């Protein structure tokens, strides 16, 4: 059920993001609303539910690029696993820690995306330019996470997941 | 076996969800796949949402800017009238040139394939990933848009259709790092290649020999040699050409004539690989 809710939210929020980014006239800066959902899935959902949710959010982002390659579902899964591993050390249940995880995930996601596109494209250095928008992207994604928090809280079952990356 | 699968269910599912797209990406690289059923479903669901949101945001923006524009509109109207008179004079001159061009072509027995009417489309969204610079438009396969068609505005070239589905299509911008377009310096007719840099307001130019005549401010247009754009569409203005001490080619950047972050409406030219779609038959990608 929560998987379906997150999937529908991903389509809606990415559509909204694409329109807002156009309206604001951003060039290489984006708002990683999808990542905010992946972080939530890693922190608050069960392994199976969270993994499918993260995969689908990445899949939708991949479709939105216009040239789906499989990069973003893979990155979403990597971020999902790393956030889950980090949550063993830091409790991610409060709003502040959720925003901290979202900021870290945005930086990590951008770096991994640039690395993998650099690895496979002819003009790899061109993709590095997208990193110039990362600082603003982190701030905007945190703001988006803050705005989404009340909505995401409603999806939270309130149960504390058992500790472990694949718990 | 069943017990093993049951015991390691989570590990297996997570591994498949991670490795399947990763291997797919590493093997197919930057090319991208053709839209499958799930892709089409996602696009089918998201396109109306984007159109509706664009309509709403633009409506509010137009209302606000309309109110602001009322202030000082008299001065603007006077300026517009002056510009209109100038444009009218230029149009007359161009009509003369067109008539002369037609006469000369007739004399040379020059035949040209007729190009279909351009498809007017509205930009409904920007791609949410900064690694691939593209926009989405509200015209797709249903309207005759096909992969590979060039997209322009009255200001100049915008990009190329990389995916078209039912009611929408995605346009790879000239600024995307994967973009390559054949260019021509309008003044000297020197050929070049225009490359995307991944930056919003800068293109790179390549393969202009260091001894060629190229100056700051030269206009670069499409050469029509890349099988994408027709000849003569404006790309941008040459900036800071440098002739390095070593090497065959000069280094220069290009200021695009289109502000890609502000583009609202575009024209899709129904030509694929330089061939008008009318000549290929409708529905042929």
Asked if the model's pLDDT at residue B2 lies above 80, the reply is no
Full DSSP string of A5-22: HHHHHHHHHHHHHHHHHH
Mutate to test the interface with B, among A126, A128, A136, A167 (most CBs of B within 10 A): A126
- Length of chain A measured in residues: 167
- Tokens coding B102: 């037609």
Query: Among the listed ranges A45-49, A127-131, A161-165, which one has the minimum average pLDDT value?
Result: A161-165
Judge whether residue B277 has pLDDT over 70: no
CB-based contact B128 A69, cutoff 8 Å:
no
Report, as an integer, the average pLDDT of B75-90: 83
Nearest Cα of chain B lies from the Cα of A111 at a distance, in angstroms, of 11
Q: How far apart are CA B148 and CA B275, in angstroms?
A: 11
- Average pLDDT of the residues in B3-21: 86
Would you give the distance in Å from CA B74 to the centre of its chain?
35
* Mean pLDDT over each residue of chain B, to the nearest integer: 83
Confirm or reject contact between A13 and chain B (CB < 8 A).
Answer: no
Residue of B20, B124, B198 with shortest CB distance to A130: B198
Q: What is the CA radius of gyration of chain A?
A: 15
Listed residue (B258, B160, B159, B154) closest to B202, CA to CA: B258
Q: Does B131 sit within 8 Å of A127, measured CB to CB?
A: yes
pLDDT of residue A63: 92
> Is residue B230 scored above 80 in pLDDT?
yes
Tell me which of A101 and B280 has the higher pLDDT. A101
Tell me: pLDDT of A126 over 70. Answer: no
CA distance B285 to B271: 10
Residue scoring higher pLDDT (A128 or B22): B22
Q: Is A137 on the interface with B (CB under 8 A)?
A: yes
* pLDDT (tens digit per residue) in B51-64: 998 888 888 877 77
B38 contacts A59? CB cut-off 8 A: yes
Would you say B132 and A126 are in contact if contact means Cβ atoms under 8 Å apart? no
pTM of the full predicted structure? 0.81
Of B11, B26, B129, the CB nearest to A65: B129
- Reply yes or no on whether the pLDDT at A51 is more than 90: yes
pLDDT tens digits, one per residue of A61-105: 999 988 888 899 999 999 999 999 998 888 877 889 899 999 999
In this prediction, residue A163 carries a pLDDT of: 56
Region B204-226 average pLDDT: 84
| Interchain proximity A133–B123, CB inside 8 Å | no
Q: What distance, in Å, lies between the first and last C-alpha atoms of chain A?
A: 19
Cβ distance of A74 and B134 shorter than 8 Å: no
* Closest residue in B to A58 (Cα–Cα): B21
Chain B residues whose CB is inside 8 A of the A118 CB are none
Cβ within 8 Å, pair A64-B46 = yes
What is the per-residue pLDDT for B197?
85
pLDDT band at A109 (very low <50, low <70, confident <90, very high): very high
The confidence score (pLDDT) of residue B110 equals: 54
pLDDT for B161? 94
- Looking at the complex, report in whole angstroms how far the Cα of residue A83 sits from the nearest Cα belonging to chain B: 14
Tell me what pLDDT residue B274 has: 56
User: What pLDDT sits at residue A75?
Assistant: 94
Q: What percent of chain B has pLDDT over 70?
A: 90
A interface test, pick of B138, B177, B199, B206 with most A CB neighbours within 10 Å: B177
Whether A27 shows a pLDDT value over 80: the answer reads no
Give pLDDT, residue B272.
66
Tell me whether A72 touches chain B (CB under 8 Å): yes
Which member of A19, A60, A74 has the closest CB to residue B21?
A: A74
Nearest-CA distance B35 → chain A (Å) = 8
Q: B29–A22: do the CB atoms touch at under 8 Å?
A: no
Region B198-215: what's the mean pLDDT?
82
Q: What is the pLDDT of residue A59?
A: 94
pLDDT at residue number A167: 53
Name the maximum alpha-carbon separation found in chain B. Answer: 84
In this complex, the residue of B33, B125, B126 whose CB is nearest that of residue A68 is: B33
- The percent of residues in chain A predicted with pLDDT above 90, rounded, is 42
Spatial separation of the C-alpha atoms in residues A68 and A79, rounded to whole Å: 19
CB B176 within 8 A of CB B159: yes
* Res. B112: pLDDT tops 70: no
Contact assignment for B178 to A122 by CB distance below 8 Å: yes
Cα B148 to chain centroid, rounded: 10
Q: What pLDDT, on the 0 to 100 scale, is given for residue B280?
A: 44
pLDDT at A160 over 60: no
Note the ipTM here: 0.85
The shortest CB-CB distance from B132 to any of A29, A65, A122 is to A65
The β-bridge partners of B136 are: B125, B170
A145 touches chain B (CB under 8 A): no
The most confident of A137-146, B109-118, B270-279, by mean pLDDT = A137-146
Nearest Cα residue in chain A from B160: A66
- Please tell me if residue A70 touches chain B, with a CB cutoff of 8 Å: yes
Q: Which residue has the higher pLDDT, B135 or B78?
A: B135
Segment among A94-98, A132-136, B36-40 with least mean pLDDT: A132-136
The answer to whether the Cβ–Cβ distance between B134 and A66 falls below 8 Å is yes
Given this model, what pLDDT does residue B174 score?
Answer: 92
Find the residue in B nearest to A19 (Cα): B125
Interface touch B134/A71, C-beta < 8 Å: no
Q: Yes or no: say if B197 and B203 are a contact pair by the CB < 8 Å rule.
A: yes
Quickly list H helices, B174-225. none
Give the pLDDT confidence score for residue B97 in this predicted structure: 81
What mean pLDDT comes out for the span B257-274? Answer: 84
Whole-angstrom distance, CA of residue B161 vs CA of residue B151: 7
Contact across the interface for B53 and A15, Cβ inside 8 Å: yes
pLDDT at position B285 is 35
Rounded Cα gap, residues A98 and A36, in angstroms: 9
pLDDT of A130 over the 80 cut: no
pLDDT at B252: 85
Percent of chain B with pLDDT over 90: 20
Taken in order B199, B203, B206, B208, the sign of the CA dihedral is negative
């Amino acid at each position: 059920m929560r998987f379906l809710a997150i999937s529908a939210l991903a389509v809606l929020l990415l559509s909204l993001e694409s329109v807002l980014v156009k309206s604001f006239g951003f060039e290489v800066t984006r708002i990683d609303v999808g990542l905010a959902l992946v972080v939530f899935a890693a922190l608050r959902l069960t392994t199976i539910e969270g993994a499918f949710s993260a995969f689908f959010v990445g899949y939708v982002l991949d479709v939105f690029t216009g040239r789906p390659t499989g990069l973003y579902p893979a990155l979403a899964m990597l971020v999902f696993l790393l956030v889950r591993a980090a949550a063993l050390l830091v409790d991610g249940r409060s709003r502040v820690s959720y925003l901290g995880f979202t900021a870290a995930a945005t930086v990590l996601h951008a770096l991994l995306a640039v690395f993998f596109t650099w690895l496979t494209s002819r003009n790899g250095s061109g993709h590095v330019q997208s990193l110039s928008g990362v600082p603003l992207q982190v701030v905007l994604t945190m703001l988006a996470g803050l705005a989404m928090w009340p909505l995401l809280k409603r999806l939270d079952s309130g149960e504390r997941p058992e500790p472990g990356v694949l718990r | 076996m069943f017990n093993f699968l049951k015991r390691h269910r989570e590990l297996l599912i997570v591994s498949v969800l991670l490795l399947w797209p990763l291997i797919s990406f590493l093997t197919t690289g930057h090319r991208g796949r053709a839209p499958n059923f799930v892709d089409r479903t996602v696009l089918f669901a998201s396109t109306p949402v984007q159109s509706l949101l664009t309509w709403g945001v633009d409506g509010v923006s137009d209302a606000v800017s309309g109110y602001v524009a009322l202030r000082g509109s008299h001065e603007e109207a006077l300026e517009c009238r002056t510009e209109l008179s100038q444009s009218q004079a230029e149009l007359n001159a161009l009509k003369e040139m067109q008539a002369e061009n037609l006469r000369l072509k007739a004399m040379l027995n020059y035949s040209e394939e007729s190009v279909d009417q351009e498809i007017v489309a509205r930009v409904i969204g920007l791609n949410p990933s900064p690694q691939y610079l593209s926009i989405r438009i509200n015209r797709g396969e249903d309207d005759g848009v096909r992969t590979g068609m060039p997209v322009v505005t009255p200001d100049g070239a915008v990009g190329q259709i990389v995916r078209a589905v039912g009611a929408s299509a995605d346009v790879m911008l000239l600024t995307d790092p994967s973009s390559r377009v054949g260019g021509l310096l309008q003044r000297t007719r020197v050929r070049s290649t225009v490359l995307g840099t991944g930056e919003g307001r800068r293109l790179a130019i390549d393969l202009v020999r260091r001894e060629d005549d190229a100056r700051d401010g030269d206009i670069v247009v499409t050469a029509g040699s890349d099988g994408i754009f027709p000849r003569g569409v404006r790309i941008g203005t040459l900036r800071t050409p440098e002739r390095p001490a070593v090497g065959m080619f000069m280094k220069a950047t290009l200021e695009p004539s289109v502000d890609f972050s502000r583009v609202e409406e575009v024209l899709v030219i129904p030509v694929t690989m330089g061939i008008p779609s009318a000549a290929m038959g409708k529905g042929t990608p």
